[in-house]
Copies of this chain bind each other. A is one copy, B any other.
Amino acid sequence: MRTYGDLGLIELTKKFDGVLIKDVVVSLEELSNLSESLHHEVRSSIDLIYEHLITLNKQSLPKDLMVRVGGLSSGIIWKPLSSVGIYVPGGRKAYPSTLLMAAVPAKVAGVKKLYVAAPPRKDGSVDPAIAYLALKLDVRKVYRVGGAQIIAAMAYGTESVDKVDKIVGPGNIYVQVAKFLLQGIVSIDGIEGPTELVVVADETANPDEVCVDMEAQAEHGTTSVIALLTTYDPLLNYVEKCLEGGPNTYFLIKVDSLEHAIEVVNELAPEHLSLRVRDPYTLISRVENVGAISVGRTPSALIDYLGPNHILPTNASARFRGGLSVYDFLKAIIIADGSPTKELLRAVRVLASYEGFPIHGRSVEITYGRT
């Protein structure tokens, strides 16, 4: 990418997508025309969900913090990242919900420069819903290029692709490997793999709702990992029958207790947990490692569209990271200002001396006098 630039992107798009594109960036006029072709019902649905997500994400925005302790004011100033590239996977269909889930928290965090990359359709254009949202979100540029090549381009920059500070979004294995390899050069949200859902249910769960919830997450592809852990035999039998003949493999497991089920969940660290039990909030206090929890009858598909986010940790990375949020687009800048107490200054000098940094101690002494 660093060597071949835009021409490399056009060449690789021809090779991998079988589409000959004339330019990498979709023009404003083209976006506008595509956007106008979008069905009004899809448009108003996007608008409604956009507003919903804006409201939710604003709630989780942290405030700057400055506290005075021991004479010293210190804390955290939150600053947004300057530029973010959002990868929106393509394929048979387009996924405007993914663009919403990535862009809304970035926007609310205050990121000024957003870029969108999506693989081209057969005619070289991008999807109308993506075009509509890109205009609505005031995105700087939309790239009609998918795959590992556009990830590399956003990490290093080309003639028409701007280098960004962070790249987020799901994508196929090539996209994820590119993100993995380029981390350090560019920040990434994480490596997103196939969908995972674990349903934990007792006798209060509605069997048809359990069944369709599992089928819905299986709809993401045959590599989805879908499991039911239940204490209730009749539910197990019902679900086994209703899922029969589906294209996916499901894990249906009888457990001794709901507490045991949560232990298994914490070991698996799945992307989605559906908690269909009498007293979900008692169990939630035991949950350690999951990406998202849909509580009671709430279908996990609601999280896919109403969030707060559907870009979630997979492949056991819920051990160490959560779902995408405004925090992925903010940096905690450390700040200190003031004159600490004599006791604290003395402690600083003692520790600096212990660690072999006498000038650290001297800088304190010259500023505040001997203590």
Which residues on A are within 8 Å of B, measured CB to CB?
A: 41-42, 44-46, 48-49, 52, 55-56, 59-60, 62, 65, 67, 69-70, 72, 74-77, 79, 81-82, 92-97, 129, 165-166, 180, 183-184, 186-187, 191, 208-209, 212-213, 215-216, 218-220, 280, 284, 287-309, 312-313, 317-323, 325, 327, 330-338, 340, 343-344, 346-348, 350-352, 354-364, 366-367
Contacts and interface: CB of A to CB of B under 8 A. Distances in A.
26 contacts: A42-B351, A45-B348, A48-B344, A49-B347, A49-B351, A52-B70, A52-B344, A56-B75, A59-B67, A76-B308, A77-B293, A82-B289, A94-B354, A165-B319, A187-B317, A212-B363, A216-B359, A219-B360, A292-B333, A292-B335, A293-B333, A294-B336, A302-B340, A305-B351, A312-B334, A325-B332
Nearest to A215: B359
Contacts of A313: 331
A136 to B, nearest CB: 14
A361 to B, nearest CB: 8
A315 to B, nearest CB: 9
B348 A306 contact: yes
Listed from nearest, the 3 A-B pairs whose CB atoms lie closest are A322-B332, A295-B337, A187-B320
Contacts of A367: 209, 212, 297-299
B347 A45 contact: yes
A348 B307 CA distance: 11
B337 A332 contact: no
Nearest to A365: B212
B320 A165 contact: yes
A306 B354 CA distance: 15
B327 A323 contact: no
A79 B361 CA distance: 38
B333 A303 contact: no
A234 to B, nearest CB: 19
A362 B302 CA distance: 11
Contacts of A325: 76, 332, 334
A53 B305 CA distance: 40
Contact of A364 (B165, B302, B340, B351): B302
B82 A298 contact: no
A332 to B, nearest CB: 3
A6 to B, nearest CB: 24
Contact of A97 (B296, B337, B351, B358): B351
Contact of A48 (B49, B92, B335, B343): B343
A198 to B, nearest CB: 14
A334 B354 contact: no
A70 to B, nearest CB: 6
Contact of A360 (B289, B301, B308, B344): B301
A354 B97 CA distance: 10
